[in-house]
Amino acid sequence: MLKYLKKYWWFCIIAALFMVGEVSMDLLQPDLMRDIVDNGVLKSDIDLIITVGVKMILLVLAGGLSGMLCGVFANLAGQQFGNDLRKDLFSKIMNLSFQQTDKISTGSLVTRLTNDVTQVQNMVMMSVRGFVRNTVMFAGGIFMLYRQSPKFAFIAACGLPFVIFFVFFFLKKASPLFAVVQKKLDGINNIMQENIMGARVVKAYVKEKHELERFDNANEELCGTNLRVQTLLAFMGPCMNIVLNVCIVIVILVGGITFKEGGDMTPGRIMASLTYLAQILHGITFMANIFQTFTRAKASADRINEVLESPEIIRGGSFDGKTEQKGKIEFRNVSFAYPEASGDYVLENISFTVNPGETLAIIGGTGSGKSSLIHLIPRFYDADKGEVLVDGVNVKEYELAALRKKIAIVLQKAELYSRTIEANIRWGKADADPWEIKKAAEIAQADDFICNTEFGYHTVVAERGHSLSGGQKQRISLSRAVLKDSEILIFDDSTSALDLRTEARLYEALNKEFPDTTKIVIAQRIASIKGADRIAVLDDGKISAIGTHDELMADSPIYRDIFNSQLKEGGEQLD
């Protein structure tokens, strides 16, 4: 992650220099205090006391100014580092394949993008300020202490191994728990996301108490792990303070004995030595806290790198998408299995062709592979065997953007964003003018209900479209796809919330306005697809039959069973 900090190295250097200035001022204070005690107080020299006192005040002001400037530049480095890292991480998440996002939970990705980045960002700021401060304080303190008395420096050196032992002992014990804490936080975020997104289901089934207990359990696990970490670290401070206090007592004893025996020791020198000793050992204590931050940040950095270093599973080719044919789709002996499905094929040996301008409908039972099939066309997933071709070119040879520009897809679950209806539709074409947006909505049978809202196309949609009905959300999503005006239009059971009359008007408008656009329609209702040029019947991952409605009624037992169950046994009536 150092590459993200290289751009701001001069902020780090300036911050470090100001920190050296602040620490230098702090290191001069005890020596000046020694001068006041030995040469001012003991000798009743008021002028010296005033002179040195003013000098100390000026040094304090200079040190404070240096500290503030250090904080400014350290924060500039840390915030810019975090900003760049967060943007790159988000960009990487947006480019992960469905296979990768299926493996890493949404809650975990949110934690990595927020909490983990913050941990690493804090580590950068702590490094620039705390690490420099305590390193200079330790080295400078040893030097100044040695100037007061080599004996005192020796005492500090004797206490140092014990302090280092406690630091490494407790951090080694706590280090593995930091990664566990972040994983527990993932669990909290997952539960929160599921319950916020599924709030209506929770309320409908009166499961608030159950979900609260689930959240409580996850929260208690997080608190328990955090408590174990903090308990370990809580022991580290007192142990180090014991070493500090023992060293202080020894310095007082040695200094007192030396003074009593008539040596060169003075009260001011002893006072200064005690202050330097405290600075040295406190510097080590704070360094331990920095190591704790480093250890915690390393766990977060590993989790961030896991995402940043994820390989490109869906890698685009070099073809720019310019073809003579427009809208031809071909499957050649295609087989596909989801990566986590232990090799069981969802689709097996699929072959068919959709010609430009043709409408192909796909019908089949739940789990027959309908959605999986159309996900291979825009390369949400890649086929394990065989080829998928668009306009005569294997989809793997296309640049991803070029391939997906050819395709407008409306998925089974309508995805809307908390912005105006117009802005949601405009996703299909960023530079569309209001007339084009209205025309697309008219084709998708959405214009009437949009105009009846309080602010029309400027009505703001609630998060995830909760302020709209299922049919309204689907029609806005359909408007977005229509506005894109692509060569291929794919509806993945995206008219299920529409009544048959509205659906019929939708397809009539599409055929009138886009006669040359290739259309693939997945539906559960035969009434929705009866008028398609051809209908493919999927059964257990294989195409059992393909043809017109009349041909399938004559030749496909599976299609006849679906027809009979829907239209002859009290189901919808076919016009």
- Same-domain check for residues 253 and 399: no
Examine residue 498 and state whether it is found in any structural domain, yes or no. Answer: no
286, 308, 330: which is the final residue of a domain? Answer: 308
Examine residue 14 and state whether it is found in any structural domain, yes or no. Answer: yes
- In CATH, what number is assigned to the domain containing residue 35? 1.20.1560.10
Nearest to 521 by CA among 338, 373, 380: 373
Question: Whose structure tokens read 């180090």?
Answer: 240
- Same-domain check for residues 181 and 285: yes
Domain span holding position 108: 2-308
Examine residue 299 and state whether it is found in any structural domain, yes or no. Answer: yes
Look at 58 and 38; give whichever has higher pLDDT. Answer: 58
349-402 tens-digit pLDDT: 999 999 999 999 999 888 888 989 999 999 988 998 999 999 999 999 999 989
Q: How confident is the model at residue 568 (pLDDT cuts 50, 70, 90)?
A: low
The per-residue pLDDT for 574 is 46
Torsion of CA 222, 225, 226, 227, to 10 degrees: 120
Structure tokens at 340: 């986590």
Q: How confident is the model at residue 545 (pLDDT cuts 50, 70, 90)?
A: very high
CB of 493 within 8 A of CB of 410? no
- Same-domain check for residues 304 and 330: no
Report how many domains make up the chain: 2
Sheet holding 385-390, edge to edge: 347-354, 329-336, 385-390, 393-394
Q: What share of the chain is helix, strand, coil (3-state, %, to 5)?
A: 65, 10, 25
Distances (CA, A) of 155 to 137, 277, 297, 308: 17, 9, 34, 48
250, 279, 308: which is the final residue of a domain? Answer: 308
The per-residue pLDDT for 531 is 86
Nearest to 105 by CA among 298, 303, 239, 258: 303
In this prediction, residues 337-345 reach a mean pLDDT of 75
Examine residue 6 and state whether it is found in any structural domain, yes or no. Answer: yes
Helix 46-95 / helix 267-308 crossing angle, nearest 10 deg:
10
Mean pLDDT of the chain: 84
247, 278, 308: which is the final residue of a domain? Answer: 308
- Same-domain check for residues 154 and 105: yes
- Same-domain check for residues 33 and 149: yes
- Same-domain check for residues 302 and 333: no
The per-residue pLDDT for 286 is 76
449-508 tens-digit pLDDT: 999 888 899 998 877 677 788 888 999 999 999 999 899 999 998 888 888 889 889 999
Residue 501 CA to residue 498 CA, distance in Å, equals: 8
Examine residue 255 and state whether it is found in any structural domain, yes or no. Answer: yes
Burial of 87 (0-12, 13-18, 19+ CB in 10 A): exposed
The per-residue pLDDT for 7 is 84
Examine residue 288 and state whether it is found in any structural domain, yes or no. Answer: yes
- Same-domain check for residues 173 and 253: yes
In this prediction, residues 179-197 reach a mean pLDDT of 77
1-35 tens-digit pLDDT: 678 888 888 888 898 899 888 888 888 888 888 78
The per-residue pLDDT for 445 is 92
The per-residue pLDDT for 26 is 85
Q: How confident is the model at residue 189 (pLDDT cuts 50, 70, 90)?
A: confident
> What proportion of the chain, given as a percentage, has pLDDT over 70?
95
The per-residue pLDDT for 398 is 93
Examine residue 292 and state whether it is found in any structural domain, yes or no. Answer: yes
Side-chain half-sphere exposure of 448, counting CA atoms within 13 A: 5
Residue 442 CA to residue 536 CA, distance in Å, equals: 29
The per-residue pLDDT for 260 is 74
Q: How confident is the model at residue 237 (pLDDT cuts 50, 70, 90)?
A: confident
Distances (CA, A) of 67 to 26, 55, 70, 194: 11, 18, 5, 45
Interior angle at CA 482, CA 477 and CA 487, nearest 5: 125
pLDDT above 80 (res 287): no
- Same-domain check for residues 78 and 203: yes
Number of helical H runs and strand E runs in the chain:
21, 10
- In CATH, what number is assigned to the domain containing residue 324? 3.40.50.300
pTM exceeding the 0.75 threshold for the entire prediction: no
- Same-domain check for residues 246 and 291: yes
- Same-domain check for residues 51 and 171: yes
The per-residue pLDDT for 573 is 47
pLDDT above 50 (res 575): no
Helix (H, G, I), strand (E, B) or coil at 198: coil
Examine residue 110 and state whether it is found in any structural domain, yes or no. Answer: yes
- Same-domain check for residues 200 and 330: no
Distances (CA, A) of 463 to 61, 228, 398, 417, 466: 52, 38, 34, 6, 6
- Same-domain check for residues 141 and 289: yes
Structure tokens at 81: 């580092």
The per-residue pLDDT for 342 is 63
